[in-house]
Structure 1
Amino acid sequence: MADTLTFTLDTGAGTGDVVIKLRSDLAPGHVERITDLAAEGFYDGVVFHRVIAGFMAQGGDPTGTGTSGSSKPNLKAEFSKEPHVRGVCSMARTANPDSANSQFFICLDDATFLDGQYTVWGEVTEGMDHVDALPKGEPPRSPGKIVKATVA
């Protein structure tokens, strides 16, 4: 069943993975995109290029700069009433609401000022401590990375 899929990130911490429950009930198009990209190995080796303490950790840009995405077309926004609270995963985008592509962020703390403006597609169910431990910065001096991303 699609709503029980998980997106698992091996961050190379050696102590476990970050497991994200995919929310196809909220954002079926975004969940499909993340599933496709993970299956293609797109996220493997990609860094968390922007990590702001008390706010969020952002990754998903193959260049590590925060200015790029996949070669796939941008996605139409799938905004919901789901709150941006600690552990929620949402898509990054430009000022254009329909510009999400491959970049995403994980909320390190409640960020409800983002509600209704970004597409929520998942929530961390295990390994939030690994997200908390990512090196901070914009970009971090030695950024944390996704060693391997899988969907099951």
Structure 2
Amino acid sequence: MADITDPENTLIITLKDGDVVIEMLPDVAPKHVEQIKALARGGEYDNVAFHRVIEGFMAQTGDVANGDMEDDFNIRRAGTGGSSRPNLPAEFSKLPFDRGVVGMARSQNPNSGNSQFFIMFREGHFLNGQYTVWGRVVSGMEHVDAITRGEPPASPDRMISVKVAADS
């Protein structure tokens, strides 16, 4: 596991194969980092599915409204919901969408980020300046690479637990 230098701004996502450590970037996207930490601290991300996983692109998760359901109907709806918290204004930056970067998912409205996020498998610079970057994987990327593919996957992988390192 990576050396954690700022536990308050480090997220630990436990997947079936191991932990993914994400350095959150409050200097780049303060409102998004605050929302992610609040959702993690509330346990809202625990057991949420990766509902959209595209080979060579990214793995998307974080639909706390629909992503923790076990039945097929809700898994098919995963990706359409958010949380009880308000949507966020875009916090676009100059940071590029490279491998391991974590961005906030949104609808066509740039100010619609809420709880869903994605982790890049490889660079996707066409997203630069159009989606909010709020973190980057600092260890465990091999566990992200092992997430089951599909839109949605037939048997989706889940975030077993999501914790702020300072709380561990």
For normalisation by structure 1, the TM-score amounts to: 0.95
Percent identical among aligned pairs is 57
Which structure has the larger Rg? 2
**Which residue does 1:29 correspond to in 2?**
31
Q: Does the 8 A contact of 1:3 with 1:23 survive in 2?
A: no
**Which residue does 1:6 correspond to in 2?**
10
**Which residue does 2:75 correspond to in 1?**
none
What count of residue pairs does the alignment treat as equivalent?
A: 150
Give the drift of 1:25: 1.0
Deviations 1:87-106 (A, max 9, x none): 00000000000000000000
Q: Which residue, 59, 66, 72 being the options, matches 2:85?
A: 72
Please give the alpha-carbon distance, in whole angstroms, between the structure 1 residues aligned to 2:7 and 2:90.
19
Q: Which residue, 101, 108, 122 being the options, matches 2:114?
A: 101
**Which residue does 2:45 correspond to in 1?**
43
Structure 2 gaps, min length 5: 68-77
**Which residue does 2:147 correspond to in 1?**
134
Give the drift of 1:3: 8.5
Q: Does the 8 A contact of 2:7 with 2:164 survive in 1?
A: no
Structure 1 gaps, min length 5: none
Give the drift of 1:12: 2.1
Please give the alpha-carbon distance, in whole angstroms, between the structure 1 residues aligned to 2:7 and 2:128.
21
For normalisation by structure 2, the TM-score amounts to: 0.86
Secondary structure, counterpart of 1:31 in structure 2: helix
Please give the alpha-carbon distance, in whole angstroms, between the structure 2 residues aligned to 1:3 and 1:78.
22
